[in-house]
């Protein structure tokens, strides 16, 4: 992303704050629409941002979403302090979930979060330490610059 114009913004997410679920993803979606990115990219970013935001709300204590946008790429980096993911490979399996029955009752925890993020991004890096927290680095290439 070096060398091009970049728009950056940071959003805080609080663990357990279900009342605000989706608020950050919504802001990101509105921003990307204003930035003139194509509809498919905006939709993918909205899905990714929502899943990442929900992961923080459901499992972590405190988190931060960093958005960086250039005409060619959308970078979404999510840092949280929380329990971490013990087995990243297992967490990437569709249907695997550690959600509590309460979360499932609210309609969350179908075990599609990380797989859904992967499906909608061009690059996904997961860096997690048990008992400390998780960092997700996501790159979505805008249309004409990414997957077809």
Partner 1 sequence: MNTKNFHAIHITKDKCIGCVHCLAKCPTRAIRVKDGKAVIIDELCIDCGECLRVCPHEAVHSHTTSFAVLDAFTYKVAIPSTVLYGQFGTSVLPNEILSALRRIGFDEVYDLSSICELNCAATEEYLNEHPRPRPFITSTCPVVVRLIQRRYPALCGHILPIEPPREIAAKILRTILPKSLGVPPDKIGVIHITPCPAKMVSINSPATLAKSFLDGAISVRDIYPQILAALRKSEEDSLMRHLFPETLFSGIGMGWSLSGGETRGFKNHRAVAVSGIQDTMRVLDQVEAGLLQDIDLLECTVCPDGCVGGPLEVENRFLAKSRILELVAAAGEHAVVDQRDASRLYHKNFLSFDHPAPPAESHPLDHDPAKAIRMAKRREKIFAGLPKKDCGVCGAPDCRTLADDIVRGHARLDDCPFVTKEKR
Q: Which residues are near partner 1 by CB under 8 A?
A: 4-7, 9, 22, 25-26, 29, 31, 33-37, 39-40, 42-43, 46-47, 49-51, 69-71, 107, 116, 142
In angstroms, what is the minimal distance from the CB of 131 to partner 1? 30
In angstroms, what is the minimal distance from the CB of 8 to partner 1? 8
For residue 98, give the nearest of 43, 55, 46, 34 by alpha carbon.
55
For partner 1, the closer CB: 103 or 128: 103
Tell how far CA 117 is from the center of its chain.
7
For partner 1, the closer CB: 7 or 96: 7
For partner 1, the closer CB: 128 or 142: 142
In angstroms, what is the minimal distance from the CB of 61 to partner 1? 23
For partner 1, the closer CB: 59 or 128: 59
Helix (H, G, I), strand (E, B) or coil at 140: strand
DSSP letter, residue 20: G
In angstroms, what is the minimal distance from the CB of 13 to partner 1? 15
Ramachandran angles phi, psi of 50, nearest 5°: -65, -50
Euclidean distance between CA atoms 107 and 103, whole angstroms: 7
Q: Which ranges constitute the DSSP H helices of the chain?
A: 23-34, 39-59, 88-91, 101-105, 113-120
């Amino acid at each position: 992303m070096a060398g091009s114009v970049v728009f950056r913004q940071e959003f805080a997410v609080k663990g357990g704050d279900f009342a605000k679920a989706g608020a950050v993803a919504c802001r990101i979606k509105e921003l990307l629409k204003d930035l003139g990115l194509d509809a498919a990219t905006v939709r993918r970013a909205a899905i990714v941002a929502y899943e990442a935001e929900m992961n923080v709300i459901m499992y972590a204590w405190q988190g931060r979403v960093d958005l960086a946008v250039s005409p060619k790429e959308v970078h979404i980096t999510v840092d949280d302090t929380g329990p971490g993911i013990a087995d990243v490979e297992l967490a990437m399996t569709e249907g695997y979930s550690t959600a509590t029955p309460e979360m499932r009752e609210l309609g969350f925890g179908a075990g599609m979060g990380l797989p859904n993020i992967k499906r909608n991004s061009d690059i996904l890096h997961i860096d997690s330490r048990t008992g400390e927290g998780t960092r997700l680095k996501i790159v979505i290439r805008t249309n004409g610059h990414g997957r077809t």
